[in-house]
Amino acid sequence: MASTLNRLLETFARIGATPDGGVCRLTGTPEDGGARVRLAAEILSRQFGLHVDPIGNMFGIATLAPSSQEAVLVGSHLDSQPTGGRYDGVYGVLAGLLAIEAVVARAAAEPGKARRNLVVANWTNEEGARFQPSLTGSSVFAGMMALDAALGLIDGAGVALGEALAAIGYRGTADLPLEPRRYVELHVEQGPLLEEEGIEIGVVTGCWAARKLSLVFHGEPSHTGPTRMARRRDALRAAARAIELHHQLIEASGSGAHASAARITVDPNSPNVTPSRVQVWFEFRHEEAAVAVALGDAFLAEAQAAVAPLGVDIEIAVDEQRGTASLDPHGAALTTAVARELDLSSMEMKTIAGHDALALNKRMPASLIFVPSQGGLSHNPAEFTDEAALDKGLAVLTEVLWQLVTEE
Amino acid sequence: MASTLNRLLETFARIGATPDGGVCRLTGTPEDGGARVRLAAEILSRQFGLHVDPIGNMFGIATLAPSSQEAVLVGSHLDSQPTGGRYDGVYGVLAGLLAIEAVVARAAAEPGKARRNLVVANWTNEEGARFQPSLTGSSVFAGMMALDAALGLIDGAGVALGEALAAIGYRGTADLPLEPRRYVELHVEQGPLLEEEGIEIGVVTGCWAARKLSLVFHGEPSHTGPTRMARRRDALRAAARAIELHHQLIEASGSGAHASAARITVDPNSPNVTPSRVQVWFEFRHEEAAVAVALGDAFLAEAQAAVAPLGVDIEIAVDEQRGTASLDPHGAALTTAVARELDLSSMEMKTIAGHDALALNKRMPASLIFVPSQGGLSHNPAEFTDEAALDKGLAVLTEVLWQLVTEE
């Protein structure tokens, strides 16, 4: 099974491959379409049913219990960051596919045991790289985001997500025709903890909180040559000051928070016009929601005071507060027990990164399982997890799914 | 004549008009094409010859002295910044057109007086908004930039200037079939001096120096969530620190320099990936070249020291040093004398902004004449100069051209 998983990962890594060994498969692009077509072929070749829902989530359905409407879902996402690695997301989808294949074989050998069906899912736009916010497909599926709002999300070039999905032939029309009961996701950690602790399986019990503040800095256009310096209202200078202040505030807080300002748009972005409108996407992440919120509040107050002398105003375009959440305790206990059975070391941990499991957890009990990432590196072409570690994750996932479809 | 000039300005302001009353006519776009077609019609309707050269410079040729190969050129540019006003560039082209019309009429009334021909020019990509560097068409014409290099300039979307010109039908094949002897350009000041001094005509004797440094900040992509803060190499944080430092350095220098950081590109520019590559266009302008150079040197040293602790390196992508220059003393003296004759107040001044006249001055004696700008505002939709002030500039230009085509 190991070699099959690695062969599949290799195949998918060629779709949207970048010269530096990574992948770039932004949602709704031809590369995303190529990966979807390939996944559809893998689903159909295993005699699973193929279904695409209205936000483009793809499902491969294995009917283990024809009389039941219930399904256990497993999956992750095929889209990537522009500087994506070969494992983030695609590992969970392909391991889910192979785990289901193994469970189907076992169910055939032990007839009457399976009480519910299995579905592998590829969730649309997990990354939020081309369209913000992230976790789009899983949030719509969980009923946390309206379908129309999701289809209407606009990329930097003015293209709507709905158009982009239609263009690659992956905008479906009907919801999944089963009752989802549980969700399990296998993912590379994207952080350094498992590697540092020498642990093989991460049992994720919950997530850090995040506050995402997208701020617009409003200045005034003027000629960068003759306009007197005191007369300028430079929105980029204001944004630069706020970005540095943001990092200094996080460091000074000693809170252990993670923070970033990673996306910026500048108008008119001409070398000879003082920038009049700049938007920056700031993030604050902390284990405690109250700390993430307080850091954001402190930053907003300090940033406004810091840029006012430049004649620049700040508008809050987005203030998204994601609280902490606890994932399914039953799934976590089961994962720990399965790891023990398979002689694998495991530890409970929190995820700092967002994952589809967190969105789906709003609708059904959801579980998240990590395997180590070399150097904790992710969203980087050099992202790497070795074959043995990947296989251990698949073995745990397979057994967890078997338990979840056969238990009472 | 006044009303003709204003009617023409009105007409051109509709081409690429923005909702806020400004214009956006970036080089090689359909809007630029529309303005060019309209100018061609104005040239032909006056029985001037129409010529387009290989870099897309447009010429309207009035043959006043058929036996002479010599020409006096007058003009400016029809392209604009994304947040352009209604006067920057287009005023000089249209006033040039009308001034030539008047000189042609006077030459017909005073046969035998004209010793050389007149040409109105629209220079390609003066603004440098879509394609950098600016002053492209005039620099090629002056022999300061190779045609192939200019045609190969690439915009932010990867389109070459040559392709863009071909797409709007304005990539010509042959050089201007005349000997250019002098150049005169009429322009709005884009700064506050004339208005503050209550002076009607600015006689530009030279320009400030400029140093343009385009710097690339090299970091490393990583996940903005789980990656430890100390592990990140954030190119946008480094760029932000450098932008603020740049402004502080200029202020602290007390040099009176003008400086800007107005254009930035960020890769991958996704909210969830630490930026790995950021490019910023910095400018330093000063009346003395040595000061502009020294400020740039000080900034480079300080910026490198400031971003090194962030694990970010700086690469110098462009280091363009434009020295001061003196414009044609004969043209300046003539302009001053003409203003006096016409009972208009005038003063000598330097230009801080770049102009085609500065590029053309490398090939032939060039003159630049300013009229006041309300509030010194430019590269802004609210750019404004009143009708009377515009007409005064046209009157001066007309008389200056008459002198230049008739003098020995």
Beta carbons within 10 angstroms of residue B41's beta carbon = 11
CA angle B255, B261, B262 (to 5 degrees): 130
| Shortest distance, CA A38 to any CA of chain B (angstroms) | 26
The band of B3, judged by pLDDT with boundaries at 50, 70 and 90, is confident
CA distance A399 to chain B (A): 28
Residues in chain B within 8 Å Cβ distance of A79:
none
pLDDT tens, residue by residue, B45-59: 999 999 999 999 999
One domain, residues A368 and A288: no
CB contacts < 8 Å between A and B, how many? 247
Q: How many domains does chain A have?
A: 2
Q: Do residue B115 and residue B22 come from a single domain?
A: yes
Strands (E), A258-307: 258-267, 277-286
Structure tokens at B356: 């085609």
- Residue B271 confidence (pLDDT): 92
B-interface mutation test, from A208, A270, A350, most B Cβ less than 10 A away: A270
Which token pair is B408? Answer: 């020995």
Q: What is the predicted pLDDT for the residue at A1?
A: 45
Concatenating the DSSP letter of every residue in B139-183 gives: HHHTTSS-HHHHHT-B-TTS-BHHHHHHHTT----S--SSEEEEE
Length of chain A equals 408
**Model confidence at B190, in pLDDT bands (50, 70, 90)?**
very high
For chain A, give the mean pLDDT: 97
Distance CA(B346)–CA(A248), nearest Å, equals 52
**pLDDT tens per residue across span B100-115:** 999 999 999 999 999 9
User: Is residue A39 a contact partner of residue A100, using CB atoms and an 8 Å limit?
Assistant: no
For the cut 90, the answer to whether the pLDDT of residue B331 exceeds it is yes
Q: Looking at the structure, tell me whether residues B176 and B280 fall in a common domain.
A: no
**What is the DSSP code string of B238-253?**
HHHHHHHHHHHHHHHH
Q: What residues of chain A score a pLDDT lower than 70?
A: 1-2
Report whether B125 contacts B27 (CB < 8 A). yes
Residues B350 and B248 in one domain: no
Share of chain B above pLDDT 90, in %: 99
Would you call A173 exposed, middle or buried from its count of C-beta atoms within 10 A (0-12, 13-18, 19+)? exposed
Q: What's the pLDDT band for B1 if we cut at 50, 70, 90?
A: very low
Q: What is the CATH number of the domain that holds A100?
A: 3.40.630.10
In angstroms, what separates the C-alpha of A379 from chain B's closest C-alpha? Answer: 5
Specify whether A175 is located in the same domain as A284.
no
Contacts of A304 (CB under 8 A, 6+ apart): A314
Q: Which of A260, A267, A284 to mutate to test the interface with B (most CBs of B within 10 A)?
A: A260
Which of A322, A340, A364 is at the close of a domain? A322
Domain boundary residue among B263, B290, B322? B322
Residue A217: CATH number of its domain: 3.30.70.360
Taking phi over 0 as left and psi of -120 to 50 as alpha, with beta for the rest, A345 belongs to beta
Q: In the prediction, which pLDDT does A49 show?
A: 97
Q: How confident is the model at residue A3, as a pLDDT?
A: 80
Q: Is residue A379 located within the same domain as residue A398? A: yes
Do residue B59 and residue B191 come from a single domain?
yes
Instruction: From chain B, pick out residues whose CB is under 8 angstroms from the CB of A210.
Output: 225
Do both A219 and A199 map to the same domain? no
Pick the closest to residue A188 from A358, A405, A389, A401 (CA basis): A389
Choose the closest CB to B222 out of A224, A263, A378: A378
Give residue B153's pLDDT.
97
Tens of pLDDT, residue by residue over A125-173, are: 999 999 999 999 999 999 999 999 999 999 989 999 999 999 999 999 9
Share of chain B above pLDDT 70, in %: 100
What is the enclosing helix (H) or strand (E) of B49? Answer: strand B49-52
What stretch of H or E contains A368? strand A366-371
ipTM of the complex: 0.90
Cα distances (Å, whole numbers) of residue A160 to A148, A167, B10, B219: 11, 11, 36, 31
Distance CA A113, CA A149 (A): 41
Task: Examine residue B19 and say whether the peptide bond preceding it is cis (omega within 30 degrees of 0).
Answer: no
What residues of B are in contact with residue A274 (Cβ under 8 Å)? Answer: 260, 262, 379
Judgement on whether residues A362 and A256 belong to the same structural domain of the protein: no
When scoring A224, A228, A307, A384 by the number of chain B Cβ atoms within 10 A, the one with the most, hence best to mutate, is: A224
CA-CA-CA-CA dihedral for B192, B195, B199, B201, to nearest 10:
60
Q: Looking at the predicted structure, is the pLDDT value of residue B82 above 90?
A: yes
pLDDT over 90 at B336, yes or no: yes
In chain B, which residues have their Cβ closer than 8 Å to the Cβ of A228?
A: 191-192, 258, 376
Clarify whether residues B16 and B144 are in a common domain.
Answer: yes
Which residues have a Cβ under 8 Å from the Cβ of B88 and sit 6 or more positions away? Answer: B80, B81, B187, B188, B190, B378, B379, B383
Q: Which of B294, B322, B350 is the last residue of a domain?
A: B322
The verdict on B119 and B180 lying in the same domain is yes
Distance from the Cα of B260 to chain A's closest Cα (Å) equals 6
Residue among B229, B236, B267 whose CB faces A261 most closely: B236
Structural domain of A360: 2-208+324-406
Residues B53 and B174 in one domain: yes
